[in-house]
Amino acid sequence: MSHTAMRWRDSAGIQSLVVALFAGLAGLAGSFAVASFTPTFVAGAIAGFLARTLPGEIITFSILVLGDLGDQLNTLVALGLSVLLFALAALVGLALDNYVEYPVAGVVTAALVAVISVGITGAIEPSLVAGAAAGIVVLAADFVVRGGVGSDIASATAQSPDRRRVLAAIASAVPLVFGGYLLGSRGTAQADSGVDDSTGPWVSSEVDALLAEAAEKSFAVAGLEPLVSDDFYQVDINSTDPDLDASEWSLTVTGDVEREVTYTYEDIVGREVEHQFVSLRCVGEALNGKKMDTALWTGIPLMDLVEPAGVGENCCVMLRAADDFYEEFPLPALEDGFLAFGMNGGPLPRGHGYPARALIPGHWGEINVKWLTEIEILEQEMDGYWEKRGWHGTGPVNTVAKLHVINDLEGGRKEVAGHAYAGTRGIERVEVSTDGGSTWNDADLSEPLPGTDVWRQWSYTYTAPPEEHEVVVRATDGTGELQSREEASPFPSGPSGWVTRTVR
């Protein structure tokens, strides 16, 4: 055995591993090229699977401690797992190299990657492209040592075959990964703007007038988010949100009803619509967090869809969604529920539940189910997705006044401002203390917007003491009840306490 051949043998394991990893990367890029960031992307499907099956403690920890980082971490793990799975398939293909002729290893790799991908995503097209990309890398690597031309080059160059094998894998994988990334990113951009938003029931002079009213009633305080949020928070269990086609979507009323009724998108958007300002707040956010926002929603009352099904005296309802999310709550809360398919003068954005979502006035965000597909009437209570994981987030929101803005004004004065929200109880008053809670002053409140579930802005200016001081805010709801001072962490029933910030 020649010297080169021996070295080739010894290092073949590591070489194969590297080739397989690059094949895995190329496979991932192939999947992304076709699917972009949707659940048919192999890593998107795995991330979704992780979010649905990881123990509640891990998910809760991830939300509370890691926040959005948790989501990114989940995506990263899913990307890594995808590459590893595809690389494993390539290793199986490469192991055949010792027994079979070129190009069997590449073909087997392509087939295995495609099968794995279909198994995970259920989507054929991205899986075939993933298989092809991974297969190409294995073919390229094998070609230089096993293909006819490769052996000529082998003797003509000084490079060892194992080295050239890895170089060939990298050289073929890099353009595939790069191209896949570009194609997939373009697809994501298209998916987000794929809906024709220039027509539809969300475009109307009434919407324009309401948005203008909100702009007018918003305080001109630097750095304060207006009454209709510029940047509406997004919280859901998905790393890749469902990418639904309105023409294929339907909403069915099921469960303990006289008859099941199914509605299509056309059935719903063709009706006479209403436009409502509604605020949402996530139960899992920090006391002074930013997961509380307001939009102008276009839609119809949910009961218009539920009543035709024939609902008797029942306890509860379960809302189910295309991302397998589900939340349950008492039936009476559904009575004021709204089905929104428009947001701020456009169709509902994909991230907020396109084509339609539920809005349940005054309740924590989690039961405002996005990508809604089923309204199931229940005879008995059942836990929802988050309640199974220990949360109690289906009830009415806690009253809160947030302190997000501290501005220096002329002449040593300061301006503090924020938003206050108490669900359907409304906000009657916000008080500010600039001495740690010893004395209190009324803040200015923005004029209320029309609607029964909307936040208000507050602001307060004062002459700042020269020393560091504690600013505390507290709201009183429309029933006259003062915001609870008792401090509680978000888990399990939502944050409570008075927001306090040190100002200097």
List interacting residues with Mo ion (CB under 5 A): 235, 282, 365-366
Alpha carbon distance 148, 139 (integer Å): 13
Decide whether 121 or 394 has the Cβ nearer to ligand MTE. Answer: 394
Decide whether 235 or 303 has the Cβ nearer to ligand MTE. Answer: 235
Question: Which one of Mo ion, ligand MTE, none interacts with residue 371, CB within 5 to 8 A by kind?
Answer: ligand MTE
Q: Note whether 456 binds ligand MTE by CB under 6 A.
A: no
Alpha carbon distance 56, 284 (integer Å): 13
Residue 355, φ and ψ in degrees, nearest 5: -90, -20
Decide whether 344 or 433 has the Cβ nearer to ligand MTE. Answer: 344
Alpha carbon distance 441, 433 (integer Å): 6
Alpha carbon distance 226, 218 (integer Å): 5
Decide whether 352 or 389 has the Cβ nearer to ligand MTE. Answer: 352
- Helix (H) / strand (E) containing 116: helix 104-121
Give the shortest CB-360-to-Mo ion separation in angstroms. Answer: 12
**Region of residue 325 (phi > 0: left; psi between -120 and 50: alpha; otherwise: beta):** beta
Q: Which of 402, 432, 477 is nearest to 224 (CA)?
A: 402
Q: Note whether 350 binds ligand MTE by CB under 6 A.
A: no
Is the peptide bond between 492 and the residue preceding it cis, with omega within 30 degrees of 0?
Answer: yes
Q: Note whether 366 binds ligand MTE by CB under 6 A.
A: yes
Give the shortest CB-485-to-ligand MTE separation in angstroms. Answer: 25
Decide whether 91 or 282 has the Cβ nearer to Mo ion. Answer: 282
- Which residue is closest to ligand MTE by CB? 365
Find the binding residues for ligand MTE in span 229-258 (CB under 6 A). Answer: 232-237
Question: Which one of ligand MTE, Mo ion, none interacts with residue 340, CB within 5 to 8 A by kind?
Answer: none
Give the shortest CB-232-to-ligand MTE separation in angstroms. Answer: 6
Decide whether 390 or 412 has the Cβ nearer to Mo ion. Answer: 390
Residues 6+ apart with CB under 8 A from 173: 22, 23, 25, 26, 137
Give the shortest CB-484-to-Mo ion separation in angstroms. Answer: 20
Give the shortest CB-327-to-ligand MTE separation in angstroms. Answer: 7
- Taking CB under 6 A as the binding criterion, the range among 74-82, 99-107, 368-376, 432-440 that sits at the site for ligand MTE is 368-376
Q: Are strands 413-421 and 405-408 parallel, antiparallel or unpaired?
A: antiparallel
Q: Note whether 41 binds ligand MTE by CB under 6 A.
A: no
- Taking CB under 6 A as the binding criterion, the range among 12-20, 167-175, 254-262, 369-377 that sits at the site for ligand MTE is 369-377
Contact flags string 295-334 toward ligand MTE, x per CB under 6 A = --------------------------x-x-x---------
Residue 265: both structure tokens together = 């998108």
The full 3-state SS of 350-367, as one line of letters, equals HHHCCCCEEECCCECHHH
Q: Are strands 274-281 and 372-378 parallel, antiparallel or unpaired?
A: unpaired
Q: Note whether 368 binds ligand MTE by CB under 6 A.
A: yes
Decide whether 59 or 334 has the Cβ nearer to Mo ion. Answer: 59
Find the binding residues for ligand MTE in span 371-390 (CB under 6 A). Answer: 371
Q: Which of 471, 462, 473, 460 is nearest to 412 (CA)?
A: 462
Give the shortest CB-490-to-Mo ion separation in angstroms. Answer: 9
Question: Which one of Mo ion, ligand MTE, none interacts with residue 370, CB within 5 to 8 A by kind?
Answer: ligand MTE
H-assigned helices in 201-334? 205-217, 265-269, 303-306
Is the peptide bond between 490 and the residue preceding it cis, with omega within 30 degrees of 0?
Answer: no
DSSP state of 396: B
The full 3-state SS of 463-488, as one line of letters, equals ECCCCCEEEEEEEEECCCCECCCCCE
Question: Which one of Mo ion, ligand MTE, none interacts with residue 419, CB within 5 to 8 A by kind?
Answer: none
Alpha carbon distance 108, 94 (integer Å): 9
Q: Binding-site residue total for ligand MTE (CB under 6 A)?
A: 18
Q: Which of 83, 42, 77, 44 is nearest to 173 (CA)?
A: 83
Q: Note whether 352 binds ligand MTE by CB under 6 A.
A: yes
Contact flags string 260-289 toward ligand MTE, x per CB under 6 A = --------------------x-x-------
Q: Note whether 34 binds ligand MTE by CB under 6 A.
A: no
Q: How far apart are the first and last CA of the chain?
A: 79
Decide whether 51 or 282 has the Cβ nearer to Mo ion. Answer: 282
Residues that bind ligand MTE (CB under 6 A): 232-237, 280, 282, 321, 323, 325, 352, 365-366, 368-371
